Structure 1
Amino acid sequence: MSDRWISTFLEAQAAELGAARNTLLAYGRDLKDAGAWLSDRGTGFDTADTAQIEAYLIHCDAQGLAKATRARRLSAIKQLYRFAFEEGWRADNPAIQIVSPGQDKRLPKTLDEDEVERLLTAARTYGRGDHDRLRDTCLMELLYATGMRVSELVSLPVSSARGDPQMLLILGKGGKERMVPLSPSARASLLAWIEVRDAKQAALENEGAPLSRFLFPSRGASGHLTRHWFYARIKALSVHAGVAPSKVTPHTLRHAFATHLLAGGADLRAIQTMLGHADVATTEIYTHVVDERLTQLVLDHHPLARDTRKSGGNTSSDGQ
């Protein structure tokens, strides 16, 4: 059971977040060590509770492992359980309340509005022809307009997108459904793509091929575009857009969706619903991203902050 959890988790990390090979190897080593320790005690990731996870970390400390190593192992375990919760493998997350040993909380990477607009422009202009450009534009518009997970996006059934819908029905983790509104530009790109998609499907049907039920069909085993394909495609678009590829993954578009909505005054609970988060605490991380950006905005543009930088940090007046 533990090995299956680990392999599926690592595959998703590679596809959705673009984790580097060395990072994946480190995650794999850490999780296998934790899985083996739990197995020796008659449990596993599927049944372990908070006390057992904490006992494993105490064991790591007793081995003399450095604080950074223990923090990395806990991070891997937390990410595995977050993934397991979203996949519906467990109804709880036993590691969520465990405090990391001396590590700062990492905020999710995101993109600013100008970078997103450049990526959308690249989708409209990059590609071998109208088919590729309309497909890529639809993918990017839907991702940014809805904050979908990439696995939800590539596997959308075409039936959910017909009839110029104002809302899109998304089948999320654990089989949970949610409705997400579409922006006017996302609706327009969807209509344009479906027209081209249907024409190609009709041509394939005339050649004896079966019609696809997916919005983004593929001849691969899944029948639709894969997470791996889209990850590579969004990297190519980032190069064309002049946005650093290291900043761009399907998941950073999801983060951008949530961060930009929150910065624009959207309700946190509404964002939670649209993202498909089971717990609002997961969504609250975006408040920290916005707070950090607002702080930097003040430091960069407020007159007093500029005066402080010019004076070398000395804000005291004469006679004080």
Structure 2
Amino acid sequence: MSANGPSPDLFDADLEAWRKQPERAFDGWLASHGFRHGTAVVYRAMWGKLLRWSGERGLAPLSWSAEQIGAFLDEQDLHKHHRYRYTRLIERVFHHLSLLQDGLHNPASQAVRAHLAEGENDPTAFLLPAERDTLIARVLAPAAQATGQDGAALSATQWKRARDTALVAVLLGAGLKVGEARGLGIDSIAEDAARLRLVRADNGRAYEAPVFAFARAALLAWLEIRSRTGTLGNLVFPAMPSGRHLHAASLYRRVEILLDEAGVLAGRSERASPQTLRNTCGALHFEAGAGPTQVAQYLGMRDLESGWRLRAAFEAWQARVGLKPAQGGAGDTGTSDVACYA
């Protein structure tokens, strides 16, 4: 790029150029629209983050579905305003591309229509205690009884059911993000499944996520089935026994199916998603006596201040739904005793 902006040929990049060199084509698109320097810098960073996310998941540029865009937005921990800004940017790019090819779908517009761009309703949502307990009783608890049969006799449906149940278990019981769950390795799980050893992708910081006792049986049951059926690779939650990665969009669908089966979705006015399960895990830690800083560490949050924001959101939610405040107060002196996870 020259000091005066991208060369003119980038302004007329065709669809093939967008697919092969999406960053350069995007620079040309920015220049052709005359965005202010500050806006262009922000948009370029946003586009770059989307491309990196896409590349990490083996998705070709511009091949995204509405569900995949929704998954990307959820994994970025964005506020609602920024989610819409991202979606609007992707929508504008695909509108431009539709001028190059008739009938080209616009996944961002589809994401908006499907309410995938909205994220959690403001303010932050959690599962109600009754919803949480029902999910544990109807989905997680029965999973421990599913290991008695010969592994070879398991159907593909039974294999996926055990995997999906364990997936819900680590989302709710350990507070994992979608990306962390998709990339979780067998060697990251303690022998008794009481803790998960994780590393943040953005800064390489290692941390341990304790696993609540109610989630361990489902996880251990799945690990036994996974082993006995000869599942390949190191991923805890592969898409198939061959060991390939589970797509984020598939993960969202599988989680939603189990939430619906447990009756969680029927009476809710707020969206219930993997992020809701992560929020609820944080709430369980607060209820067990952990302080905001400790919860931020348990959930591998980007900064310790995020734990205080989650605590404030939890207290506001409790007031909104008419629940008594969690024991332990708003300070950071609480500690989660090991017995809380026994």
Question: Are the equivalent residues in 2 in contact too, given 1:145–1:257 (CA < 8 A)?
Answer: yes
Deviation at 1:13, TM superposition (A): 5.4
Between the aligned residues of both structures, percent identity stands at 23
Q: Greater CA radius of gyration, 1 or 2? A: 1
| SS state at 1:179 partner | strand
| Residue of 292, 296, 307 corresponding to 1:283 | 307
> 1:157 — aligned with what?
185
> 1:5 — aligned with what?
49
> 1:144 — aligned with what?
172
1:1-320 equivalence runs, <5 A: 2=44, 3-7=47-51, 14-15=70-71, 17=74, 27-30=86-89, 106-124=122-140, 130-161=158-189, 163-174=191-202, 175-201=204-230, 211-219=232-240, 223-244=244-265, 247-296=271-320
Quickly say closer, same or farther: Cα 1:299–1:239, change in 2 above 3 A. closer
Quickly say closer, same or farther: Cα 1:294–1:29, change in 2 above 3 A. closer
Deviation at 1:179, TM superposition (A): 0.8
Cα separation, 2, equivalents of 1:173 and 1:269: 20
Deviation at 1:119, TM superposition (A): 2.8
Letter in 2 for 1:144: L
| SS state at 1:244 partner | coil
Q: Residue deviations 1:4-26, cap 9 Å, x none?
A: 2245579775116399xxx9775
Cα separation, 2, equivalents of 1:198 and 1:186: 19
Higher relative contact order (CA 8 A, sep 6+): 1
Quickly say closer, same or farther: Cα 1:154–1:297, change in 2 above 3 A. closer
Deviation at 1:32, TM superposition (A): 8.9
Q: Structure 2 length as normaliser, TM-score? A: 0.54
Aligned pairs, how many? 220
Q: Residue deviations 1:221-268, cap 9 Å, x none?
A: 982222211101111122212222762111111111112322443111
Q: Residue deviations 1:164-189, cap 9 Å, x none?
A: 24321012232322111222232222
Quickly say closer, same or farther: Cα 1:189–1:109, change in 2 above 3 A. same
Cα separation, 2, equivalents of 1:133 and 1:164: 22
Quickly say closer, same or farther: Cα 1:122–1:230, change in 2 above 3 A. farther
Deviation at 1:200, TM superposition (A): 1.5
Cα separation, 2, equivalents of 1:173 and 1:120: 30
Structure (1 or 2) with the greater helix fraction: 1
Quickly say closer, same or farther: Cα 1:285–1:222, change in 2 above 3 A. farther
Quickly say closer, same or farther: Cα 1:241–1:294, change in 2 above 3 A. closer
Question: Are the equivalent residues in 1 in contact too, given 2:193–2:220 (CA < 8 A)?
Answer: no
Cα separation, 1, equivalents of 2:213 and 2:319: 32
Letter in 2 for 1:117: D
> 2:329 — aligned with what?
none
Runs of 5+ unmatched residues, structure 1: 34-78, 80-104, 203-210, 301-320
Deviation at 1:195, TM superposition (A): 1.1
